[in-house]
Structure 1
Amino acid sequence: MLQRFIFIITTIIVWHLCIFGTLAQEKKIEDMDKFPPNPLEVTLPDPLLPNLPDKRQLTLTELQKLKTDLDGLNQEAQVTLQGGDRKKAFEIWNRELRLRRYLGTLAEIEALSRVGEIAWNQNERDEVRYISQRLQVIQKEIGKQKSTDLQLWQLLGQAYQKIRLPKLGILAYEQVLILVKQQQDSVGEIETLRNIGELYLSWFDYDQAANTYQKLLNLAINQGDKTNELRYLQQLAYIYGRGKQPQAAIDILNKLVQVYTREQNLSEIPALKLAIGANYESLAQKNPTLKQQAFDNYQSAYTTAWQLEQYARAGEALEKLIAFYRSQKQVDAALETGAILLETQTLANNFYGLMSAYDQIGNLYIERREYAQALTAFQKGLAIAQQLKYQESYFTQQIEKLKTEVKM
């Protein structure tokens, strides 16, 4: 009985092991189907390579012939792609890329970058993945070697940019930054910081992008580079706006106002003042005392825009001022501003703005229970709405409601 029991247990164990082994094998095959081997890492004999006994290096003549042949493969792949056979084209490019490594790391990265950009534009995700995997292998190798080859790291960063891998691109450019600083290459430092800044922006990492462009701004100021100082201030204003950092945005926008005032370029001031006012409004949600700062900047935007005959911009500022007065229950002031808004939108030939102004004025008169004046405003608004064929039903409904009030 004991021997029979042992036999049964042994049989069950063996059966389970067989089943486990079969399932594992099937799982492995399934994974291979899901993630096929990287064709750039497959080592296959190729007729373009000479016989290499003992893994000897290619001679200069052989290298030149191989380069010519690989350039031919690149041309063949481009023609094939233009002919509509994408699969075949990338098979040719993969062959070219496998062989490019025989020409050295720089030549291989250049080719990977070139084909990677094409793969990205063609939405060939597998090809992009193969190329990114190969680039990471190269990066790991040169990292271990502690390579100080500046061109190599630059090409690596550019390659990652072209296949939209910002995180890896930043790592490569950080190595470039170390090397150009060691060489005291200020031009190279600026160019590298720009690349890093662009990559952070593409990754929507606004905090790091701001840090990078702040460094660029400091360099421009130290070098007396007024053109790039303005450029980086504009970029920082955009970044802080996207990153929802109103106080930082205000600081940068005020610096821009100073720069444009210094350069007598007043045409940019109204838009900047509007942006400053909007950021103060955002801050005022938590700190109501800052509402006055918002108002002051909107008023400054209107005044400057009117003087510059920027009537559309002046209209934007007036609408902000009306909203401010309404929030403070200052209906009289809002109506006075509304009258100015009508004049401004007329000068700007902004019929949509004019229609909106009559709507605001009508609602202000309703707040004061002056229904006859409100009715007149909405009727004028309807006349414009009919010309524009827009919001006619809204104005008609308002008028019908007010007719009842006026009769009462």
Structure 2
Amino acid sequence: MLQRLIVIVIASIFFSSSLTLAESKKPNPPDEFPPNPLEFTTADPLLPRSPKDKKPLTLEERLKLEPALDRLNQEAAAKLQAGDEVAAFEIWNRELRLRRFLGSLEEVQALSRVGAIAWNQNDRQEIVYITQRLQAIQKQTQSQKKSSEIDLELWRLLGQAYQNVRSPKQAVQAYEQVLLAVRQQKDTVALVETLKTIGELHLSWFDYRQAAPIYEELLSLAISQGESANEIVYLQQLAEIYAQTEQPQQSLNALNKLAEIYIKENNLIKIPELKLAIASDYESLGKTDPNFLVEAFENYQEAYTSAWQLQEFVRAGEALQKIISLYRSQGQIDEALEASQILVDTQTQAANFYAVMQAYDQIGQLYLERKEYPQALTAFQKGLELAQQLKHQEAYFTEQIKKLPKANF
């Protein structure tokens, strides 16, 4: 009896709680935007017949409607220029509703135009309306499953319209339909242009992983067609993509190919920066396989040598600093000190006295690691002299000197 009473009490509490929750539950919020005005089917004096009449317009009816819609566009633009944005988009929406009677191509072109204006005006509501209408046209086009030139042009226009309202995923979907068509047609020029558009779309929204296979295909096409200039562009893009996605091996493949091309073309000005990037990738791989560190050292050294020969002393200093960091990470203090002395000369040649000051600090710290305090004192004193001239970090170098054990001098 007691157990039954407990069950009844618990059930009563649960039921009561459920009622309370049901009563306190808020009703679903209303739609963020009112109904899409582009889908209204009310009669319009510019239409020769009811909007529900799906029969295509005659040539005469089209020739009468087109200039009337152009006038609506001009009227809306004038309203916007006068500062009446609400009235402007009301007129444009009317124009867009009527454009569909001229066919999908004309409608999408108009949607694209007004969509770009809505984006520039930061009119989020209008962008939603236009995007919804574009999606409806896309769905209708996909259901027809045609492959005519008109459909191909429509997909291109849809892609551009989605770009104008900043809907990259839908834009890519549209251009992928174009891609299927141009592949079937074996139209290499159109294929390259479409791939470039898709690649740029992915990059504009930092979707590097989706962009990678696109640029790999563009690279293959450029190589097959002997287009060395485009080959360089795509290799540079791939190197950046793989750097962003932290794929050092793939980045190395692109960078090494670039280096081969530049050396072959005797374009040596590009080599220091390239060698730095190559060395950095090898250093990243060296975190899991120390054998790659040898390649990192060699490429940093090549970066330094080529930069020095080209009198690019800032770049040479950058390469030396990387070499010093690698030496220190491997506990090679003698080699790090030797490279640091060279760094002082390099930064002096570059007239980068702030970097010279930092190099002296680095030398002082290296001598401290070896407990060679007189040498450390000399380095910090030179750093202090520069700090006083630059009026920067004077207190720091003074403190470093004060901390040195006095008994060792």
For normalisation by structure 2, the TM-score amounts to 0.87
Partner residue, 1:355: 357
Partner residue, 2:125: 126
Equivalent positions of 1:84-95 (< 5 A) are: 84-95=83-94
Partner residue, 2:11: none
Partner residue, 1:267: 269
Which runs of no fewer than 5 residues in structure 2 stay unpaired?
1-21
Match of 1:282 among 281, 284, 296: 284
Deviation at 1:387, TM superposition (A): 4.1
Which runs of no fewer than 5 residues in structure 1 stay unpaired?
1-19
The amino acid across from 1:106 in the alignment is L
The amino acid across from 2:107 in the alignment is E
Partner residue, 1:48: 46
The amino acid across from 2:133 in the alignment is R
Distance in 2 of aligned mates of 1:393 and 1:104: 76
CA deviation map 1:236-295 (0-9, x unaligned) = 011001111011001110000001111110111111111111111111111222111111
Deviation at 1:27, TM superposition (A): 4.8
2:48 counterpart SS class: coil
Distance in 1 of aligned mates of 2:174 and 2:36: 23
Partner residue, 1:36: 34
Distance in 2 of aligned mates of 1:62 and 1:391: 80
What is the identity percentage for the equivalent residue pairs of Structure 1 and Structure 2?
Answer: 60
Deviation at 1:155, TM superposition (A): 0.8
Aligned length: 384
2:218 counterpart SS class: helix
The answer to whether structure 1 residue 332 and structure 2 residue 334 are counterparts is: yes
CA deviation map 1:310-367 (0-9, x unaligned) = 1111100000111111112221211111111111111112233222212211111211
Distance in 2 of aligned mates of 1:203 and 1:36: 29
CA deviation map 1:7-27 (0-9, x unaligned) = xxxxxxxxxxxxx9xx99x95
Distance in 1 of aligned mates of 2:337 and 2:113: 62
Equivalent positions of 1:4-403 (< 5 A) are: 27=27, 30-32=29-31, 34-52=32-50, 55=53, 56-148=55-147, 149-402=151-404
Distance in 2 of aligned mates of 1:196 and 1:52: 40
Contact 1:284 1:290 (8 Å CA) reproduced: yes
Distance in 1 of aligned mates of 2:133 and 2:182: 26
The amino acid across from 2:98 in the alignment is L
For normalisation by structure 1, the TM-score amounts to 0.88
Distance in 2 of aligned mates of 1:300 and 1:53: 73
Do the aligned partners of residues 120 and 379 (structure 1) sit closer, same or farther apart at CA in structure 2, a change above 3 Å counting? farther
The amino acid across from 2:181 in the alignment is L
Do the aligned partners of residues 203 and 54 (structure 1) sit closer, same or farther apart at CA in structure 2, a change above 3 Å counting? closer
Contact 2:79 2:88 (8 Å CA) reproduced: yes
Is 133-142 or 59-68 further displaced after alignment?
A: 59-68
Deviation at 1:214, TM superposition (A): 0.5
CA RMSD of aligned residues (A): 2.4
1:193 counterpart SS class: helix
Do the aligned partners of residues 407 and 287 (structure 1) sit closer, same or farther apart at CA in structure 2, a change above 3 Å counting? closer
1:288 counterpart SS class: coil
Deviation at 1:52, TM superposition (A): 4.4
Contact 2:105 2:154 (8 Å CA) reproduced: yes
Deviation at 1:54, TM superposition (A): 8.1
Distance in 2 of aligned mates of 1:53 and 1:358: 82
Deviation at 1:182, TM superposition (A): 1.9
Is 325-334 or 196-205 further displaced after alignment?
A: 196-205
